[in-house]
Amino acid sequence: MEFHVVTLFPELFESPLSCGLLGRAIRAGLISVVLHPLRSYGLGRYRQVDDAPYGGGHGMVMRPEPIAAAFDAALAQRPGLWRVMLTPQGEVLDQLKVEQLARYRPGLLLLAGRYEGIDERVGTLVDQELSIGDYVLAGGELPALVVIEAVARLVPGVIGNPQSLREESLSGAMLEYPQYTRPREFRGQRVPEVLLSGDHEKVRAWRHDQALKRTRQRRPDLLGKIKP
């Protein structure tokens, strides 16, 4: 699966894409990430990408032409990419949306905005607008990385043990059950007996029960979203 990213700061992507799960997935050829530096498509001698807002006000607004030119170049290289703009004004990302994004082939074209805003007409260049949550960041670069990592985990082969993905999707929109490792006792807190019992059926039932309790307590809103 391919990810193309249009950004003013391609260097922001270097280390997140070089280590851990994403680094391994790229080196194994399971995913690829192509960065399209927006500055290369800027206008005039100064490669201008933004301008003052019509109607006045402070801050700068990203112009549509450099973004359109970067999109044209990315789509010429790889036709059929699903075009996504990262913006706090988009639909809020959740695991169901991640699963949908993971189905697009050949992949995704992500636009990371910067500055105070993006010209409204850029909306006509994209298929979907996505937010990673109800807070405001300085730009769409970190959100684009969030999308890449969440989607890449679902690409076959990226996660070593596909059983863990299956468990995630089986449990649907529930929080994870509590996990324990050694030591058996830590500062007076003992590992629950059932986990030491060796009875797999009991362990499974306990985990399910714990996940449900925890979700009820911390995120009751998720229970309404569980897939039938």
Phi, psi dihedrals of residue 42, rounded to the nearest 5° = -65, 165
Minimum separation from the CB atom of position 86 to ligand ADE (A): 4
Which is it for strands 185-186 and 189-190: parallel, antiparallel or unpaired?
antiparallel
Q: What is the closest distance, in whole angstroms, from the C-beta atom of residue 9 to ligand ADE in the complex? A: 13
Site string for ligand ADE, 190-209 (x = CB under 6 A): --------------------
Question: Which one, 76 or 136, has the nearer CB to ligand ADE?
Answer: 136
The interface with ligand ADE within residues 17-76 (CB under 6 A) comprises none
Nearer to ligand ADE, 108 or 174 (CB): 108
143 binds ligand ADE, rule: CB under 6 A: yes
Measured between alpha carbons, how far is 118 from 123 in angstroms, rounded to an integer?
9
| Residue from 72, 15, 14 nearest 38 by CA | 72
Q: What are all long-range contacts of 39-42, with beta carbons under 8 Å and residues at least 24 apart?
A: 39/8, 40/70, 41/65, 41/66, 41/67, 41/69, 41/70, 41/73, 42/66
DSSP structure class, residue 48: B
Indicate the residue among 64 and 139 with the shorter CB distance to ligand ADE: 139
Rounded least distance, CB 114 to ligand ADE, Å: 9
Q: Is 127:84 a contact under the CB 8 Å cutoff?
A: yes
Residue placing its CB nearer to ligand ADE in the complex, 87 or 215: 87
Of the chain, the end-to-end C-alpha distance in Å amounts to 29
Minimum CB distance to ligand ADE smaller for 92 or for 196: 92
Residues 83-142 that bind ligand ADE (CB under 6 A): 86-88, 131-133, 135-137, 139-140
Size of the site for ligand ADE (CB under 6 A): 12
Q: How many residues does the chain have?
A: 228
Smallest gap from residue 149 Cβ to ligand ADE (A)? 14
Nearest distance, CB of residue 131 and ligand ADE, angstroms = 4
- Helices 141-152 and 20-27 pack at an angle, to 10 degrees, of 70
In the complex, minimum distance from the CB of residue 146 to ligand ADE, in angstroms, rounded to a whole number: 8
Specify which residues 43 forms β-bridges with: 48
Nearer to ligand ADE, 134 or 201 (CB): 134
Can you tell me the distance from the alpha carbon of 103 to that of 149, in angstroms, rounded to the nearest whole number?
14
C-beta closer to ligand ADE: residue 100 or 164: 100
Contact residues: ligand ADE, CB under 6 A:
86-88, 131-133, 135-137, 139-140, 143
